[in-house]
Amino acid sequence: MPEASEPTARSRVLHRAGRAWFGIALWKRILAALVLGAAVGIAWGEGATSIGWIGELFVRLIRMLVVPLVFLTIASGVAALADPKRLGSIGVKTLGMYVLTTALAVTTGLVVATLIAPGLGASFADAVPRAVAPPKDTARMFMEIVPDNPIGAMASGQTLSVIFFAVLVGAGVIAAGEGAEPVRRLLAGGSEVMLKIVGFVMETAPFGVFALIAVVMGTSGPASFLAVLKLGLCVVVGSAFVTLVIHGGIVVRLLAWLPPLPFFRGIADAIMVGFSTSSSSATLPVAIRVAERNLGVSPPVASTVLPLGATIGMDGAAMYVAMLTLFAAQAFGVQLSLADYLVIAATTTIVAMGVAPVPSGSLFVLAAVLAAIGITPEQTAIVVGFILPFDRILDMIRTVPNVTSDLSIATAVARWEGEMDVGAYNSRDDV
């Protein structure tokens, strides 16, 4: 009898442990893993790289979902609108909002960098120049949105091309009418399946976040961050202002007429994943999930706005590029006029929409903005070489406003279009 009861007792303990684990809100588990991972990374140092495979596996799981999720959610969302005019209304409002918030983020970056002046006294003595590829031609970038081969675009992860094709498929379903009803149901069912898979993957997030943060802290560490302390202060202050004031105060409170607190509570999972992965693209599956489940945004709006936002909604990157531009100008002693500030603002707003949604993607468009104020390619290479060793920590911070930009705009557009469950949104007050 003791032998028979032992497995039962063990199973009860495991059952209780499982209930206790899953009884804790996911964002709290991720936050605890983030704090614990930072502590372990600082204590373990370079040895933390031995668990880096756990974080890499988590990121690969999320990236695996991005392309099929984008295609299925957008195609099913457009098909569900039933009226092409609704798609146009949502698209115009979404693009207008992204231009507005990006311009405000750039302005924030310029103001904060002017006040704190991170480039004054900066020394590039130990910087190893890193050449940056010339920026893509803007006309060519827009041309390549139309894919030669939709399947090839999916295989290579060309998100804008996938979005374009998915919109066409959804519009085709609308135009085909009743004859395409089976396709509409297939797309809707596929979207639901992908979101369920996202839920499965998200249960591994605490372990992935723990490993990612441990590796970053073990290899970069807070001590190395001192070299760019003033620039880091700019990023922290600017990101907090963009996230809380522009996204929470202006977009959610003033434009969507909603209280900001339930918004930030509802998107905590997406913020944690964005912070730990430094990638807006990797955060997309989680963003769609929290928008629908926690914020009450309807699937047609969430599946239309968020994939587009993960590609062009780069408020954190726009703010950072503006800061780096002033950092470089201050470090090299370039005097800027009011006209130069306007050029920086306009150029950054445009190129930020072409930032790749991957870690350190901002640095690859920096050359275009610096060239506009007379910074040479050689000087740009020195700036990038100086920043790159510390950029991962800065990237984690500035990814947060990228994520909150997408979700706040999705919330506002859903509110304006009457595609939002306000009761579900306000229920986050009780969490």
Question: How many Cα atoms within 13 Å fall on the side-chain side of residue 258?
Answer: 33
pLDDT of residue 348: 83
Q: What is the mean pLDDT of residues 309-336?
A: 86
Q: Which two tokens stand for residue 344?
A: 């920086």
Average pLDDT for residues 28-55, to the nearest whole number? 89
Nearest-10 Cα torsion for 228, 234, 238, 241: 120
Are the CB atoms for 78 and 203 separated by under 8 Å?
no
Q: Could you give the CA distance from residue 190 to residue 171 in angstroms, rounded to a whole number? A: 17
Out of 33-42, 123-132, 150-159, which region has the weakest mean confidence (pLDDT)? 123-132
Q: Side-chain half-sphere of 208: how many Cα atoms within 13 Å? A: 22
Range with the poorest average pLDDT among 36-45, 123-132, 152-161, 289-298:
123-132
- 345, 322 contact by CB (below 8 A): yes
Structure confidence at residue 1 (pLDDT)? 45
Binning pLDDT at 50, 70 and 90, where does residue 428 land? low
User: Which range has the worst mean pLDDT, 41-50, 128-137, 249-258?
Assistant: 128-137
For residues 284 and 69, the answer to whether their CB atoms sit within 8 Å is: yes
What pTM did the predictor assign? 0.80
**Can you read off the two tokens belonging to residue 266?**
């509802």
pLDDT of residue 356: 59
Q: Which pLDDT tens digit goes with each residue over 175-228?
A: 888 888 999 899 989 988 988 888 888 888 899 889 988 888 887 666 656 667
Mapping DSSP to helix (H, G, I), strand (E, B) and coil, where does residue 420 land? Answer: strand
Instruction: Provide the angle, in degrees to the nearest 10, between the axes of the packed helices 84-116 and 159-176.
Output: 160
Q: Which amino acid is at 425?
A: Y
Identify which of 90, 108, 64 has the alpha carbon closest to the alpha carbon of residue 297.
Answer: 90
| 244-280 pLDDT, tens digit each | 999 999 999 999 999 999 999 999 999 999 898 888 8
Q: Which residues pair with 297 in a beta bridge?
A: 420
Domain 48-430 has CATH 1.10.3720.10: no
At residue 351, does pLDDT exceed 80? no
Tell me which range, 36-40, 221-225, 307-311, is most confidently predicted by mean pLDDT: 36-40
Average pLDDT over the chain reads 84
State which amino acid sits at residue 331.
A
**Residue 314 tokens, joined:** 């780069």
Domain residue extents for the chain? 48-430
Phi, psi angle pair for 420, to nearest 5°: -140, 140
For residue 118, how far is the Cα from the chain centroid? Answer: 25
